[in-house]
Amino acid sequence: MTAAEDEVGTCEFTGARAHKDQLKVSEASGKTFRGDQGQVSDLSGMSGHASEFVRCEFSGTVVLATEAERSAVSGEWVRRDWLVASDKNPSRRAARSETVRCAVSNALLLEDEVGRSVVSGLVVDRELLVPSALSGELALATELFTCEESGTRVLPDETASCSATGKRVRRDLLEESGISHKLYLRRLLRRCPETGVLGLENELETCQETGLAVAPEALATCTVTGRRVVKRLLVECAECSQPLLRSVATMTSRGELAHAQHVATSDFTGDLLLSSSLGRCSASTLLIEQEDLVGEFAGPLVAVAEAFGGPESTDASMMAAATGVLSAIGVRPKRVWTRPTKRDDLVAVLAEVPRRLLTPPRRYAFLISTGSGQVVGEIARVEPTPRGIRFSDAR
Ligand SMILES: [Zn+2]
């Protein structure tokens, strides 16, 4: 069954048709609507169609749209009697819970009109805050520190003092000295050309050879000249390991660098060698290479001292030279043995001098320069003992 045409009306909000008994008139707009879609304002008590109402997010109540406004802060609906205007911009309104009182001016401001000082934590009118020139963080102008070097304003904890000038400045203008580990204005620091370390001019030392201003750790003292110089000019003595200037070091025949007093010339080879690689033959008193010593004696001298059982030298010039050498101690040899040395012009000689009947002959060992025929070093007396050859002073 359908209702008669004159008993039917139209909801002006939805366009739906309904029986007139079921329709009501909005007190807000005077328009007709279906009664079951009605709503009543919690603020004014006026009724209307549900679409004419909004929900105030702050009070949780439902009011007519004409009784509310959108918050300038959040954009949410706020019922009229819950709205507060900014003291600074009265045209801007928001819910009371979206407002803050400026700690400096005491003005009531909307949340988006204030900021917090990172220094004091105070919430104030955003326009009273100034950004730090270093970090951009906000604080009240009176809370910022003016850098004594640049004049820019930064947060107090973004500053430190220069240990040279005493100026309190923004931290990014300071750098630590690698020498004293104190903070200084970067413009006062110099870089050590040897180590790359930064230091204040008066923390650097001057190399006495190059004149360079360097970090103290770049210098060492030459044990010959006593001069403080950059380490790269020094070498380590191959004998004692102490540093000395390369320019005053002596190079051995083997290419080692050492103190002049730590090298000597071998009487055998003429080579300049480290003291520790030389030794003195107790019999000839010659300074020779350690490897040419047998015990405390020169190897060729020991070899020739043991040669008397073998063939004698047939070289007449050797006999003549030995005779000449031994004349110095008043004896004359009858037999001569020789052994070579490393040096072509140096020969080890054993000379035997006969004595009275039944008395054993005397033997002498020495080294002769074949060029000059002269003895090199001392003449040693040779005596066989059960424990081997014994050398003693011939004079
Ligand atoms: Zn040395």
Selection from 87, 47, 86 nearest residue 67 by Cα: 47
Burial 303-315 (b: 16+ CB within 10 A, else e): bbbbbbeeebbee
The per-residue pLDDT for 5 is 67
CATH number of the domain encompassing residue 326: 3.10.450
Within-domain flag for 279? no
Within-domain flag for 161? yes
Judge contact between 79 and 70, C-beta under 8 A: no
- 305 and 383 in a single domain? The answer is yes
Distance CA 394, CA 380 (A): 5
SS3 state at 256: coil
CA of residue 249 to ligand 1 center, whole Å? 9
**Per-residue pLDDT tens for 62-71?**
999 999 999 9
The per-residue pLDDT for 343 is 87
CA of residue 378 to ligand 1 center, whole Å? 30
Within-domain flag for 136? yes
**Per-residue pLDDT tens for 117-126?**
999 999 999 9
Selection from 275, 298, 276, 290 nearest residue 350 by Cα: 298
The per-residue pLDDT for 1 is 46
Judge contact between 268 and 300, C-beta under 8 A: no
Range of the domain at 21: 5-55
The per-residue pLDDT for 18 is 86
Within-domain flag for 287? no
Chain Cα centroid distance, residue 76: 58
Within-domain flag for 378? yes
- 306 and 388 in a single domain? The answer is yes
Tally the domains of the chain. 3
CA of residue 261 to ligand 1 center, whole Å? 7
Within-domain flag for 25? yes
Which residue, of 55, 77, 96, is where some domain finishes?
55
CA of residue 154 to ligand 1 center, whole Å? 59
**Per-residue pLDDT tens for 191-202?**
999 999 999 999
Within-domain flag for 311? yes
CA of residue 323 to ligand 1 center, whole Å? 43
Within-domain flag for 101? no
Which residue, of 203, 227, 249, is where some domain finishes?
203
CA of residue 95 to ligand 1 center, whole Å? 90
* Residues with a beta carbon under 5 angstroms from ion ligand 1: 237, 239-240, 259, 262
Count the neighbouring beta carbons within 10 Å of the beta carbon of residue 253: 13
Does pTM surpass 0.85?
no
CA of residue 26 to ligand 1 center, whole Å? 115
- 123 and 51 in a single domain? The answer is no
Which residue, of 145, 180, 203, is where some domain finishes?
203
- 121 and 199 in a single domain? The answer is yes
The per-residue pLDDT for 120 is 97
- pLDDT mean over 181-185: 97
- pLDDT mean over 318-336: 95
Selection from 341, 275, 260 nearest residue 302 by Cα: 341
